[in-house]
């Protein structure tokens, strides 16, 4: 297949490009500001440079593709600053609508859109796709724009027959992730043999999912499966303290210490575990456990350093 990947230079985008290329697909990459690694350029059939808000750029990018994987998103430098709400809406909502409308004009074109599971209202237990969405406590302007983009895609699927799959992604980790993320920081510290500093008592919880499992799921949805909304996580919520201990276990020979710092102020919001039963039934989705994913992450990090 010939597949357009927006946001191809991002963390998930680079992993997805590699996965699709390994499957024998031709990849068209839409790239804005971040450059593509040299080893990835050779696996891409065509690169389109430009802003996803530009209609001419979109027309160029979607020409002669069989499927679209929409990963591009605007991530504000300050998630709590309302002045970035407009940019979030322009990119994450309106540009998504235009791209979905363009996909509708191509008969049979699959449209895979990445949304965010962090918009689920917090409660105990794993949340299904029917769970309440209410991003009021954290990153509201960003998450609201992601919800609006998903709403546009779902509307076109229901009323116009868009062959769309929306994945609500949890906290993905793996090679190429931001060095500022908690998983990357812990892995870097463990690799150096220094203690892991765990803030806020390690209380906040997240559904940490390995990026390789996520991109394999996206690639499967490109080829088939019932359109609709699906969760894409690990199915388990782990606290930051549990994450730190799992990272330490990943480097048993280093005997990494875990140093827990008590909360100094209000504890950051936690995020729920995702029910992945729907994706498991549709595509046989079986993500790695946290310990398994971290072990694979370590292997890949060390392979890249050779």
Q: Does the pLDDT value for residue 241 go beyond 70?
A: yes
In a domain, 254, yes or no: no
Domain housing 153:
2-171+209-234+273-288
Helix (H) or strand (E) holding 48: strand 46-49
pLDDT tier, 305 (very low <50, low <70, confident <90, very high otherwise): low
Return the CATH number at 96: 3.40.50.720
pLDDT tier, 48 (very low <50, low <70, confident <90, very high otherwise): very high
Report whether 92 contacts 74 (CB < 8 A): yes
For 45, 123, 128, 269, the CA distances from 120, given in Å and listed in that order, are: 37, 9, 10, 12
Query: What integer is the mean pLDDT of 299-306?
Result: 82
In a domain, 252, yes or no: no
**pLDDT value of position 34:** 72
For the entire predicted model, the pTM comes to 0.95
Q: What is the per-residue pLDDT across 73-98, written as a single tens digit (0 to 9) for each? A: 999 999 999 999 999 999 999 999 99
pLDDT above 70 as % of the chain: 99
**pLDDT value of position 268:** 74
On average, the pLDDT of the chain sits at 94
Handedness of CA 170, 58, 54, 16 (dihedral sign): positive
Q: How many domains does the chain have?
A: 1
In a domain, 187, yes or no: no
In a domain, 135, yes or no: yes
In a domain, 199, yes or no: no
For tokens 């690799």, the residue is 191
pLDDT tier, 41 (very low <50, low <70, confident <90, very high otherwise): confident
In a domain, 109, yes or no: yes
In a domain, 125, yes or no: yes
Q: Does the pLDDT value for residue 216 go beyond 60?
A: yes
Q: Does the pLDDT value for residue 304 go beyond 80?
A: no
Convert 189-216 to b/e letters by CB count within 10 Å (16 or more is b).
Answer: bbbeeeebebbbebbbbbbbbbbbbbbb
In a domain, 48, yes or no: yes
């Amino acid at each position: 297949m010939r597949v357009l990947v927006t946001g191809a230079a991002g963390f998930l985008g680079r992993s997805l490009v590699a996965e699709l290329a390994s499957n024998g697909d031709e990849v068209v990459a839409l790239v804005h500001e971040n450059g593509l690694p040299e080893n990835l350029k050779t696996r891409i059939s065509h690169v389109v440079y430009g802003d996803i808000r530009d209609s001419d750029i979109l027309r160029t990018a979607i020409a002669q593709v069989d499927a679209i994987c929409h990963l591009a998103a605007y991530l504000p430098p300050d998630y709590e600053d309302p002045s970035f709400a407009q940019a979030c809406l322009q990119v994450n909502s309106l540009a998504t609508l235009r791209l979905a409308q363009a996909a509708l004009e191509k008969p049979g074109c699959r449209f895979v859109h990445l949304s965010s599971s962090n918009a689920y209202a917090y409660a105990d237990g794993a949340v299904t796709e029917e769970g309440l969405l209410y991003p009021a406590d954290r990153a509201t302007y960003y998450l609201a724009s992601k919800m609006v983009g998903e709403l546009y895609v779902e509307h076109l699927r229901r009323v116009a027959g868009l062959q769309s799959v929306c994945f609500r992604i949890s906290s993905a980790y793996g090679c190429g992730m931001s060095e500022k993320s908690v998983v990357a920081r812990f892995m870097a510290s463990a690799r150096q043999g220094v203690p892991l500093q765990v803030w806020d008592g390690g209380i906040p919880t997240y559904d940490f999912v390995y990026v390789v499992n996520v991109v394999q799921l996206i690639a499967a949805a490109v080829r088939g499966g019932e359109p609709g909304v699906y969760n894409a996580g690990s199915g388990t919520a782990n606290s930051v303290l549990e994450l730190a201990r799992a990272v330490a276990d990943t480097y048993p020979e280093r005997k990494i210490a875990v140093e827990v710092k008590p909360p100094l102020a209000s504890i950051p919001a936690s995020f729920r575990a995702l029910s992945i039963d729907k994706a498991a039934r549709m595509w046989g989705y079986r993500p790695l456990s946290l310990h398994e994913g971290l072990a694979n992450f370590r292997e890949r990090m060390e392979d890249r350093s050779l």
